[in-house]
Amino acid sequence: MTSRHRASENNETFANSRTPSRRTVVKAAAAGAVLAAPLAAALPAGAADAAPAFLHGVASGDPLPDGILLWTRVTPVPEAIPGSGTGPDTEVSWIVATDKALTNVVAKGSVTATAASDHTVKADVRGLAPATDYWFRFSAGPTDSPAARTRTAPAHDAAVTGLRFGVVSCANWEAGYFSSYRHLAARGDLDAWLHLGDYIYEYGTGEYGTRDTVVRPHAPAHEILTLADYRIRHGRYKTDPDLQALHATAPVVAIWDDHEIANDTWSGGAENHTEGAEGPWAERQSAAKRAYFEWMPVRPAIAGTTYRRLRFGKLVDLSLLDLRSFRSQQVALGNGDVDDPDRTLTGRAQLDWLKAGLASSDATWRLVGNPVMISPFAVGALPASLLGPLAELLGLPKEGIALNTDQWDGYTDDRRELLAHLRAHAIRNTVFLTGDIHMAWANDVPHHAGTYPLSASAATEFVVTSVTSDNLDDIVKVREGTVSAIAAPVIRAANRHVHWVDTDRHGYGVLDVTAERTQMDYYVVSDRTDADATSAWARSYRTRSGTQRVERVYAPV
């Protein structure tokens, strides 16, 4: 079998002419910190006794019917740790085989790892068979990486009976261990896994969400600002054994949200960025995106962002969104500007691309990898007949007072246009897969939330909780389940399209897709601070083909 490969390296800059806003609170000056200390902290104990070494595991991603993107990082000499900018050019070879013992080799090649790409390498391997398990390995000098499994996508026109995806989001290193990744890796039945954003967090040690206990410290210890900083943080994450195990088990399909760059990122800045004190926003954004493409098995997508589309036979078209690179700045809570048609979450080009892809798809299911929740999440006891006119009079959002203007609630014109497009073109079986909010939800996506369920549902949405990042019980520091018992009934009463919400627990999802239905099985872990945490099934919800509504299922697949 013939093959070809391409070493993927994204060195684009992402200049932006918009002026970022200042934060209210200026962080301690970390930009001038000496690099040597955080670099040393990023190196695992005893990691580089011999060189070259593969200290950060191997991974694969973005499966195609005829190919897969392979990734690794080599440490050519002990001092060439992430972010150091040092170390010699090193030839890294790779092989792909049909068996775990790597005896039936079907593709091979080599690529050079350099300091310019932080000694990360990618091989875009083609010429493979569709819907097939493969094993791969990298080598540098006398050193072999661990062998890992991957899988190609079904042929575009294949009649696929079923697909299974792991679904995760929001993994704060300092808040706990990545047991969710370990439990997903142990399944052994995933076609791929979706990471819906916040793969890393940018904060300094102790600055974000740990119930006042840092389970394991970040590297570097300060908030990450520079290219070296982002490389070090990615490198620290890639030393996690549970994350390495999942990457070695199935290909990932990843998109970014805000924390891969900075909290509440928008096109011209971020809540967690102070222009001047923390350098120019355009430089920080460019550094974060460059490090992301270096360290993630993701093909640089349209305009150097993460929005792109993958197909899995005639069963699934998967559209993946970037809701940070083009969005307008967030407005204050309760601000009627959320309805302003000149404000955008997606950007014009991406919204048109999404609409066109949904309309032209001939797949049974149209899945949308969506970083922030699209379903309305509002409060207000007034009936819709009064709330709408009052909202317009007072300059408030027409669909109620939004509780989180960082999600689609803060950009209602984009949402209305997209949902109207689904209705106008009779587009069915659209399912949004969402992270970000650190809670688990099962939602209908109504055309008009105020009159739901008397009015129609345009789509459905499954939201996964966080791997470790704080949810509500962590924020208020009470026993797990306490907040959800009180808050969930209130949320559902004010948002009748919400079938279920769990505000308190950490875990992951497993999405099982057949022609008849798409089902999300929600799993929770016992304790995010326990490296040996157990996993248990919590709930399951599905949407049947043609219904656009969620229903509960009383057993996982």
Shortest CA distance to 367 belongs to which of 375, 359, 358, 376? Answer: 358
Sign of the four-CA dihedral 99, 100, 103, 105: positive
| Domain containing residue 221 | 153-553
pLDDT at 126: 98
Q: What pLDDT, on a 0 to 100 scale, did the predictor assign at position 403?
A: 66
Label residues 151-189 b or e (16+ Cβ within 10 Å = b).
Answer: bbbbbeebebeebbbbbbbbbbbbbbbbbbbbbbbeeee
Cα separation, 484 vs 259, in Å, equals 25
pLDDT (tens digit, 9 = 90+) per residue, 461-487? 999 999 999 998 888 888 999 888 888
* Contacts for 364 with CB less than 8 Å, ≥ 6 apart: 314, 315, 316, 429, 515, 545
- Cβ-based neighbour number of residue 426 at 10 Å: 7
d(CA 454, CA 299): 43
Q: Is residue 245 part of a domain?
A: yes
Q: Is 106 domain-assigned?
A: no
Sites in the chain below the pLDDT cut of 70: 1-50, 334, 379-403
- 0.85 cut: is pTM over it? yes
Q: Is residue 10 part of a domain?
A: no
Q: What is the pLDDT of residues 345-371, one digit of tens each?
A: 999 999 999 999 999 999 999 999 999
Compute the distance between CA of residue 67 and CA of residue 61 in angstroms, rounded to an integer. Answer: 10
Q: How many domains does the chain have?
A: 1
Q: Does the residue 59 lie in any domain?
A: no
102 within some domain: no
Q: Is residue 285 part of a domain?
A: yes
Q: How far apart are CA 519 and CA 523, in angstroms?
A: 13
Helix (H, G, I), strand (E, B) or coil at 345: coil
d(CA 547, CA 132): 32
- Judge whether 493 lies within some domain: yes
What local confidence, expressed as pLDDT, does residue 29 receive?
Answer: 27
CATH of the domain at 421: 3.60.21.70
CA dist 423 → 415, 418, 504, 530 (Å): 12, 9, 34, 46
Instruction: Indicate whether 543 belongs to any domain.
Output: yes
